Structure 1
Amino acid sequence: MTSSFPDPARTRAVLIGVSTYEKLPDLPTVDNNVSKLKELLMDDDLWGLPEKHCIDLTGDKASSVPQVMQTLHTAAAEATDAFLVYFAGHGLSPLKFGLHLALPSGDHERLYNALDFNHIRRVLLEVCTARQRLVILDCCYGGRALTDHLGSPDEELADLAGIKGTYLLAAASATVRALAPQDETYTAFTGEVIEALDRGIPDGPDLLDTDSLFVHVRRELIAKGRPEPQQRADGFGHRIVLAHNRWDQAVSPEAVAYAGALSATVGSGLGTADLGEALGLPPAQVKRYLRGGRIAPKAVLDAVTDLLGTRGRPLPPEKRNRLHELRRLAQRASEDADTQLLYWREEADRLRAELEELARELNGSALVAERDRLLSRLAHAQQYIKVTDGELAEAREDIDRLRREVDVLRLQARRLLAPDSDAEREEPSGHESAAVAKVSAVARQEGHVEGDERATAPTSGPDVSATPTRSSRAPDPPPSASVGAGCAFAVLVAAVLGYLLIGLAVSGGTVALEPSGGRRPTVSGEAYIWDVAGSVSSTFAVDDDAPTDRLEGTLRLEAGRECGSKPVEAVWEITVDGRSFKKGTAEIAGRGTSQEIATDFPLRSPAEKVTMRVGATGAAGTCDTFGLVWERPRLAKSFDVAYAF
């Protein structure tokens, strides 16, 4: 379980960076590491540390061991919630003396001018009382340094740490040098850490912990062929929270509408900091809820309405119900599986509460049907939750497997792009030469046969010497010419028939539409089915790149049992590749009635994505609950003889 977010007021961070050395190679990008990390840690959207609690030691401030150790000692004593130590520079690791972090005048012969990691470990163990302690080392601890690299170690850095209750994140393993490219803004390892904090981790949790950060940074470094980082943690160290995740979900129109209504309800009287404190949420998370980057769940909306009530601004029931309706629409339209799963859990809780209330009021058989309806919807919601949980687990397993396969393929690709590839590039020219030689031989053979036929053809007859007159009939063509013309005609007829068959096969095919976004329908044979309360929006992707020029299918709306005699009025719209394509209205008299709409329309160009939206108009006296079925939705290519040619 991820630990709670560290309190900035009770947190201390010490960032140490050494970019210039007297004898070791300089590392100019280290100063950029420290300045950008400090900026991010002080950002209210990420952690929000006060400047006096985020101490940077670079240049003259990191010139002597006593100066640095005194700063570490003071900060460790003040930290009661979280303590962060970051070092970027050269690492030294003589076999007999353990890990040393080199300061400007330190080198292999002057270890007394380097930080002994055992002293840092002692500060963390004996001085620091913070419940969360984090050490990030962007270095290796060997003396074989090159201009573009940090040192190289002889033993595992993480095993050397051994600090109880502390998380250690290191740039590279013992046998690989940590990269510090001169032509980049940051060192390789810290650059990926900064990228993850600054831009966020796609599909990551709202609160980024050490484990989420490590998995993302490791994957990015391996994909770029760079040294693989390593980690070690005792206890809950894997779940220490570092920052808010800046990545936002894809914002849908429903999410924007919900966020706008929620923001207008809160008004300007409450700032994000005050609202976050009252709700027990970080201000950064409140900002995401109010701009639609995250969809505020039911618990947050209930807390907001309760807070407004205590502040003398109670919401009218109709406005509160409208906010919950917008919330449900935004959750159902979200493409994030976790958001949809949360929606179904909240719906199950709501239906259960309605059922309990109904049970208390049930006095006659007139309410039995309503109870059965709620039980049916509750069972449907529970079944959907169960199925979605299984799909999520399988999807996560598939993602993990694909990531491992991609890593292996990238490694194989790098091996295939070794110097041997030059020899492989010579092979195609050899094959081409062989193919050309073969074609030339066949051509010469055919030319020889044609020459033989010309040589053996008769050139004169018994009357060749006779002088022809103007009325003489032209000589008959030789038999071989007639046979050749007949063969040519037969070949032409066969070619035409072949092209016609190809045109029929290619242009007469169909392409299925597969659900890819929005609310996922229930699949029954070749039909998609929705149980609609209000509105529904689903997106379908084309599973083939075959040319198509029309949309096919039949849309059917059926009034629900709960509608009784109330009619259903609905509007429907089909969009193709984000552009409105066709729209219309549907009217159903009441329970037991339905209306079919043929969705057979020509397309101007092949489509890649089709979206179907259907919603009740909400007119007075109408019902907004109905069943929706889309039978055999697909794209097709009309038969076109010209297309075959």
Structure 2
Amino acid sequence: MKGLPEAETSRAVLIGVARYTGLETLPAVSNNLPALADALTSPGSWGLAREHCAVVAEPSGLHEVLEPVEEAARAARDTLLVYFAGHGLTDDRGELFLGLPRSRPGHGHTGVPYAMLRSAIMSGRAQRHVIILDCCFSGRALGTMGGSVADQAQIDGSYLLAAAPETGVALAPPGEQYTAFTGELLDILKSGIEGGEAWLDLESVYRRLRSVLAAKSRPLPQKRDRNTAGGLLLGRNNAYRPWTSTAVAAAGSGARWPDPDVLDTAQEFIEALGHIRAISGRSIQAVSDNARPSLSPSAVSALLNRRTLPRSWKSTEIYLHACGLPADQVQRWQVVWERIRVAAATQPDRTIQKSGERTPQSDQGWRTRFSPRRQNRH
């Protein structure tokens, strides 16, 4: 699917520092890393192989951070994601650097200067780059995007998601399992977004993060993206319901759906299903993507090419919802499906000749009866 990273040619590096000698410890960071790795390697998300999602916990020196990033950058051809959680600090020039266990504020050489991390990320040939910084002052990295990461991205651009503004402080609330920012990110990946589309893209996740964190009076995340980077998908939306999707409601509000009551035969029923897809404007792949439970593209195609009714109503119901048909209309279609199924069991389909060719009458069939001009005649 467009926007979903190809697992085999994508890589992720998750870096976290929880224990510091001269700074406050951040126990929640230790929980962030495995939870985010689970999310990225799950079948409902990128489906990365475990060996393609490097977890770097408690790196003690600069090389322990940059070498895994450079290795992942060399291997990635589709998407490279780099995540850091820990203390964000500034050097004597006000530049952001990522804190290591022995880092000291104002001394950039004791941590990982963001500029060096950026160079490591751009050392490869990945088409897209996602950088997630869950640390204080992470918004300072946004200023570097325009001249480096985003401008050098080859196709879909780059996306930087920062947990706090340029001068803001990220939170690791005492007693909570995860840091404030990453905890909400994980919850979105697990629970989804009500009323959203079938898949979660970066932009919708960002908007949801700002909304939820603002409601809790917590630091607001910042972002910088380039080209179509915001459309990159993170995983399936587990809260998605085809018949309540805001996009489906908007698309279908003016649609003139076929009236199932005019359908008399199985062939007319199947043709009308194809007409519904045409009205919805969705490709077979898009219908498959929106289907819940899942309905593969081949299953959608097979349904639309049948010459008899499906034995079970379930696949048709899923298909109609995935096309955006309102729930009350889906119920009407089920009544007609049952009527035609019963009729077909007691008499042959008269719209099909013995040779398998359609009769002149069936060339008009339900489409003529559905025609607005036909319906307006007295």
Report the TM-score when normalising by structure 1: 0.42
> Does residue 98 of structure 1 match 2:95?
yes
Pick one of 123, 126, 134 that aligns with 1:130: 126
CA contact (8 A) 2:12 2:81 kept: yes
Name the structure 1 match of 2:81: 84
Q: Which amino acid aligns with 2:372?
A: S
1:249, distance to aligned residue in structure 2 (A):
2.4
CA contact (8 A) 2:368 2:374 kept: no
Pick one of 65, 71, 75 that aligns with 1:74: 71
Q: Map 1:606-625; keep pairs closer than 5 Å.
A: none
Q: 1:84-111: per-residue Cα shift (whole Å, max 9, x none)?
A: 0000011112352611001111112542
Q: 1:540-576: per-residue Cα shift (whole Å, max 9, x none)?
A: xxxxxxxxxxxxxxxxxxxxx9xxxxxxxxxxxxxxx
Q: Distance in 2 between matches of 1:241 and 1:201?
A: 13
CA contact (8 A) 1:47 1:244 kept: no
> Does residue 340 of structure 1 match 2:296?
no
Cα distance change of structure 1 residues 205 and 112 upon mapping to structure 2, 3 Å threshold: same
Name the structure 2 match of 1:5: 4
Q: Distance in 2 between matches of 1:372 and 1:337?
A: 23
Q: Which amino acid aligns with 1:90?
A: H
Q: Distance in 1 between matches of 2:375 and 2:234?
A: 40
Cα distance change of structure 1 residues 370 and 167 upon mapping to structure 2, 3 Å threshold: closer
Name the structure 2 match of 1:181: 173
Name the structure 1 match of 2:112: 115
Q: Which amino acid aligns with 2:65?
A: V
> Does residue 374 of structure 1 match 2:370?
yes
Pick one of 195, 210, 214 that aligns with 1:218: 210
Unmatched segments (≥5 aa) in structure 1: 142-152, 253-278, 307-314, 348-356, 381-560, 562-645
CA contact (8 A) 1:121 1:161 kept: no
1:373, distance to aligned residue in structure 2 (A):
1.1
CA contact (8 A) 1:83 1:132 kept: yes
Q: Map 1:396-545; keep pairs closer than 5 Å.
A: none
1:237, distance to aligned residue in structure 2 (A):
1.4
Cα distance change of structure 1 residues 329 and 109 upon mapping to structure 2, 3 Å threshold: closer
Q: Distance in 1 between matches of 2:196 and 2:366?
A: 41
Q: Distance in 1 between matches of 2:69 and 2:141?
A: 21
> Does residue 195 of structure 1 match 2:187?
yes
CA contact (8 A) 1:331 1:340 kept: no
1:319, distance to aligned residue in structure 2 (A):
4.7
1:45, distance to aligned residue in structure 2 (A):
2.1
CA contact (8 A) 2:90 2:108 kept: no
Secondary structure, counterpart of 1:48 in structure 2: coil
Higher relative contact order (CA 8 A, sep 6+): 2
Cα distance change of structure 1 residues 376 and 190 upon mapping to structure 2, 3 Å threshold: same
> Does residue 318 of structure 1 match 2:308?
yes
Q: Distance in 1 between matches of 2:365 and 2:158?
A: 59
Q: Distance in 2 between matches of 1:139 and 1:379?
A: 64
Q: Distance in 2 between matches of 1:248 and 1:234?
A: 27
Secondary structure, counterpart of 1:194 in structure 2: helix
Pick one of 158, 161, 164 that aligns with 2:142: 158
Q: Distance in 2 between matches of 1:371 and 1:109?
A: 74
CA contact (8 A) 1:21 1:104 kept: yes
Q: Map 1:222-371; keep pairs closer than 5 Å.
A: 222-249=214-241, 293-294=292-293, 296=295, 300-304=298-302, 317-320=307-310, 322=311, 326-329=314-317, 338-340=324-326
Q: Distance in 2 between matches of 1:230 and 1:85?
A: 16
CA contact (8 A) 1:23 1:105 kept: yes
Unmatched segments (≥5 aa) in structure 2: 151-156, 245-283, 334-351
Q: 1:431-469: per-residue Cα shift (whole Å, max 9, x none)?
A: xxxxxxxxxxxxxxxxxxxxxxxxxxxxxxxxxxxxxxx
Cα distance change of structure 1 residues 377 and 209 upon mapping to structure 2, 3 Å threshold: farther
Cα distance change of structure 1 residues 97 and 280 upon mapping to structure 2, 3 Å threshold: same
Q: Distance in 2 between matches of 1:212 and 1:363?
A: 51
Q: Which amino acid aligns with 1:244?
A: R
CA contact (8 A) 1:46 1:246 kept: no
1:46, distance to aligned residue in structure 2 (A):
1.9
Q: Which amino acid aligns with 1:36?
A: A
Secondary structure, counterpart of 2:208 in structure 1: helix
Name the structure 2 match of 1:45: 44
Name the structure 1 match of 2:31: 32
CA contact (8 A) 2:128 2:229 kept: yes
Q: Which amino acid aligns with 1:133?
A: H
CA contact (8 A) 2:198 2:240 kept: no
Q: Distance in 2 between matches of 1:367 and 1:124?
A: 60
Q: 1:411-443: per-residue Cα shift (whole Å, max 9, x none)?
A: xxxxxxxxxxxxxxxxxxxxxxxxxxxxxxxxx
CA contact (8 A) 1:91 1:100 kept: yes
Q: Distance in 1 between matches of 2:242 and 2:368?
A: 37
> Does residue 18 of structure 1 match 2:17?
yes
1:246, distance to aligned residue in structure 2 (A):
2.0
Secondary structure, counterpart of 1:137 in structure 2: strand
Q: Distance in 2 between matches of 1:207 and 1:12?
A: 20
Report the TM-score when normalising by structure 2: 0.69
Cα distance change of structure 1 residues 241 and 370 upon mapping to structure 2, 3 Å threshold: closer
Root-mean-square deviation (CA, aligned residues, Å) is: 3.8
Q: Distance in 2 between matches of 1:363 and 1:319?
A: 22
Q: Which amino acid aligns with 1:117?
A: Y
1:378, distance to aligned residue in structure 2 (A):
9.8
> Does residue 140 of structure 1 match 2:130?
no
Q: Distance in 2 between matches of 1:198 and 1:295?
A: 18
CA contact (8 A) 1:169 1:229 kept: yes
Q: How many residues align?
A: 304
Cα distance change of structure 1 residues 319 and 18 upon mapping to structure 2, 3 Å threshold: same
Cα distance change of structure 1 residues 316 and 220 upon mapping to structure 2, 3 Å threshold: closer
1:302, distance to aligned residue in structure 2 (A):
3.7
